[in-house]
A and B are shown apart, each in its own frame.
Chain A
Amino acid sequence: MTQRGILIRAAGAALLLAALWYFTPPDPGLRLCGFRWLTGRPCPFCGLTHALFALAKGHWREAIRFNTLSPLAFAMLFAAPWNCRVRGRLWTAGLAAFAVYGVCRVVIPAI
C-alpha cells in the first residue's frame, strides 16, 4: 500500500472515530431489523450501532449491554479498509463468532 493510501485510510479512520465520539444516535422510532420484526428475537447485529457509538466514548459496559460482541465489531470496522492478511483472518473469525452469537441470542433469552 502506498504512503498516500495509508494516509487516506488513517484520515478516514480518524474521521469515523470523531463522528462516533461526537454523535449519539437517537432511539429509533421504527426498528429496521426484519429478523426481530419476524421472530421477536434480536439478530446477531442488533444493537451494534448504539454499541459502536458507546464504545467510541469509552462506555464499555453500555456497549456490551447493547451487543456483547461490539468490541469485536469495533475492531473489524477499523480493520476493514486495510487490505492485509490479518484483516481476512479477523473478519472470518469475527463473522463465525457473530453466527454463533446469533444462535445464542435466539436460544437464550437473557443474552
Chain B
Amino acid sequence: MFCHKCGTQVSPDVQFCSNCGESLAAAPSVSGGAAPPVWTPPAGVQAHAGHWVDEGWQMVKADIGTFILLTLVFAVLNSMVPMILQGPLFAGFHILCMKKLLHRPTDFADFFKGFNFFVPTLVASLIIGLFVFCGTLFCIIPGLVVAAMFEFTYLFIVDKRMDFWPAMQASHAVVKSDYFGFTMFLLLMVLVDILGALCCIVGLLVALPVTVAAVTVAYKEIVGFDPRTAETL
C-alpha cells in the first residue's frame, strides 16, 4: 500500500510510514470526511482493452448528445488555455463518466467538478506530459508505455482523493502487472481517436469521450470506486 501523505510504498502491516512518519492506522474522521484513504493495489491485474473500449462506446452511445457537447466545450476551453486546463477538464470528464457508471443523474455542471481538484490534476498533467515527452524522445515507444503507466492518475485523484504524486504511483502500481496489456489498451484508444480524427475531425467528438469512458470503466473494474465517492459526487 501507499502512504497517503508522501506516497511512499509501505508494507500493509506497518502503522507508520517509514519515510515521513505519518500514521497509517485507519483513524476515524472527526469532521465526517476528507481523510484520504489508504489504498492497496490489486495483484495480478490483466488488461481487457477490447471489452473496456466496447463498454466506453456503450456509455457514450446511450447519451451521445451530452458527450458531443462536452467534448466541444473541452476542445474550446483546452485550445483557449492550453495545458493549464487539460488536467481539470479530463478529471471533470471522468467524474461525469463515474456518475454514469454509478447510475446517478448527470448534468452539464458535473463536467466542471474537475476544477475542485485543480492543483493536483494540473500538476499531474504537467508532470505526466513531461515524462511522456521524455519517453517519446527515445524512438516514440517508451513515451507510449509511460502514458499507459499514468492513465488512471486523474481517477485516483478524484475518486481516492489522492495528491498528484501518490495518484501517479497508484496508477503505475495497477499498470505494472501488465505493461504490455495496458500499452495495447492505450494504443487501441489512440487508434480510436485517429479513426475519429480521420472522419473530418468531427469524429473526435465521439471518439474522445469513448476513450475517457473506457479508462473510467477499466478503473471501476480493476480498482473499484471508493464508497465515499458515491456519496459525495
Contacts and interface: CB of A to CB of B under 8 A. Distances in A.
Interface of A: 32-35, 38, 43-46, 48, 80-81, 83, 91, 102
A81 B139 CA distance: 21
A43 B46 CA distance: 30
A45 to B, nearest CB: 4
Contacts of A80: 179-180
A11 to B, nearest CB: 15
Contacts of B178: 83
Contacts of A102: 138
Name the 8 nearest CB pairs between A and B, nearest first: A34-B137, A80-B180, A45-B139, A43-B138, A35-B137, A33-B139, A35-B138, A45-B138
Given A33-B139, A43-B138, 5 more contacts: A38-B137, A45-B138, A45-B142, A81-B180, A91-B179
Contacts of B136: 34
- Report which residue of A32, A34, A102 has the largest number of chain B beta carbons within 10 angstroms of its beta carbon: A34
A32 B140 contact: yes
Interface of B: 44, 46, 136-142, 177-181
Contacts, number: 33
A45 B142 CA distance: 9
A44 B138 contact: yes
B217 to A, nearest CB: 21
A36 to B, nearest CB: 8
B221 to A, nearest CB: 17
A72 B231 CA distance: 50
B179 A83 contact: no
A81 B46 CA distance: 10
A91 B179 CA distance: 10
B46 A45 contact: no
A83 B46 contact: yes
